[in-house]
Amino acid sequence: MSVLNAQARATIESGRLAHLVTLNADGSPQTSIVWVGFESADGETIVSGHMDDRLKLRNVRRDPRLVLSMETGVTNDHGLGEYLVVQGTGEVVEGDAAGLLQRLARVYLGPDAVFPPGENHQPGWILRITPTKISGIGPWS
Amino acid sequence: MSVLNAQARATIESGRLAHLVTLNADGSPQTSIVWVGFESADGETIVSGHMDDRLKLRNVRRDPRLVLSMETGVTNDHGLGEYLVVQGTGEVVEGDAAGLLQRLARVYLGPDAVFPPGENHQPGWILRITPTKISGIGPWS
C-alpha cells in the first residue's frame, strides 16, 4: 500500500532540502540536511548519498527510526508555509554514493552541475528510507 | 557562556521556518514546523507559541531534549545550502501564546499581519528552548 501520495512524491523530487533526523546513542535527536530522491521511478524508497561514514549513518545502523521534513515553498490560505514530514525507517548500504549525488546534483544545483568534485571517488554509502507515515501541512494532511 | 554567535542569532530572528524535533514516548523522533524568536533581546532562550496542547508539547514535558533546524537561504561556495542546527532542552509553560504568535507573525507574515485570527484567545502555551550546542553549515561550523 502506498504511503506517499502524488503531491508528497513531487515534494521529495522537487530539489528542496530535506531535514533528516536520526537518533543518537543516548536517544537524543540529531538533525542534518541532505539531498533526497527516489531509488527508482516506481518505488517508494527514498535515498540520500554519503561519501563519508558520518554520525547519522552510524545512528541509523543502531536505530533505524528516522524522520525527514521538507518545506514546499507554498503558503496556504492562512499564510502558513506548507511542509511535508515523512516518518520511516532507514537502512545503510555500501554503494555508488557519488553516482547518486551526481544524479541529485542535477536536481538540486542545476542540469550542468558536477558533484561531488574530483574523480576516483570511494563507493560511499546510500541511506535507503522506507516511508511509514506522512504528516505536516499540505495536500497530505 | 554564549552558545549562539551573532549569525546564529540573526538566523533565529530571520523569519525562516524552524523544524522542531521532539521525542515520542517510544523514543522515535517527531518533527513539526514552528515560528521562533527570542524571549528577550539580550537572552538566549528561544520561544515558540502554541494555542493547543499538541503532541510536541506533551513530548517535551516527558523528555526535554529537542533539536531545531533552519535553512538560511544562503548558498555557499560549493553550491550547498547553509543551515543552522540548535540542540537544546525545552520547557513548556502556560502563557500568552497569542501575544507571542502576534509578535512572531509580524516577522513571519508581515508588519500588518494579524495572527492568530479571532479574539478572546485562551492563554495557550509557550515552549522555552535553552540552546546547548549549534552545528550545521554556515558561519557557526
Bridge-based pairing of strands B65-75 and B18-23 is antiparallel
Query: Residue B84 has which C-alpha cell?
Result: 543552522
Residues in chain A within 8 Å Cβ distance of B54: none
Task: Give the H/E segment covering residue A75.
Answer: strand A65-75
Averaged over successive runs of 10 residues, the pLDDT of chain A (141 residues) comes to 94 97 98 97 96 96 98 89 97 96 96 89 95 96 83
- The pLDDT, as a whole number, for residue A67 is 98
Q: How far is A1 from chain B (nearest CA, A)?
A: 23
- What number of other Cβ atoms are within 10 A of residue B20's Cβ? 27
Outline where B6-111 has alpha helix (H). Answer: 6-12, 55-62, 97-108
Q: Cα-atom radius of gyration of chain B, to the nearest Å?
A: 15
Give the integer Cα–Cα distance in Å for B86 and B66.
9
- Residue B120 is predicted with a pLDDT of 82
Residues B70, A15, B22: CA angle, nearest 5 degrees: 35
* pLDDT for the residue numbered A101: 96
Q: Could you tell me which residues come within 8 angstroms of residue A6 by beta carbon, excluding any fewer than 6 positions away?
A: none
Q: Which CATH class is domain B6-137?
A: mainly beta
Torsion of CA A86, A112, B82, B23, to 10 degrees: 10
Contact criterion met (CB < 8 Å) for B33 and A67 = no
Domain chopping of chain A, boundaries: 6-137
**pTM of the shown model:** 0.97
At B51 the pLDDT is 94
pLDDT at residue A119 in the model: 83
Q: What is the per-residue pLDDT for B46?
A: 98
Indicate the residue of A29, A65, A137 with minimum beta-carbon distance to B21. Answer: A29
Tell me chain A's radius of gyration from C-alpha atoms. 15
Between CA A110 and CA A102 the distance in angstroms is 10
Q: What ipTM was estimated for this complex?
A: 0.96
Residues 58-97 (A) with a CB less than 8 A from some CB of B = 63, 65-67, 69, 71, 78-79, 81, 83, 85, 87
C-alpha cell belonging to residue B54: 499538541
pLDDT at A77: 84
| Chunked mean pLDDT (size 10), chain B, 141 residues | 94 97 98 97 96 96 98 89 97 96 96 89 95 96 83
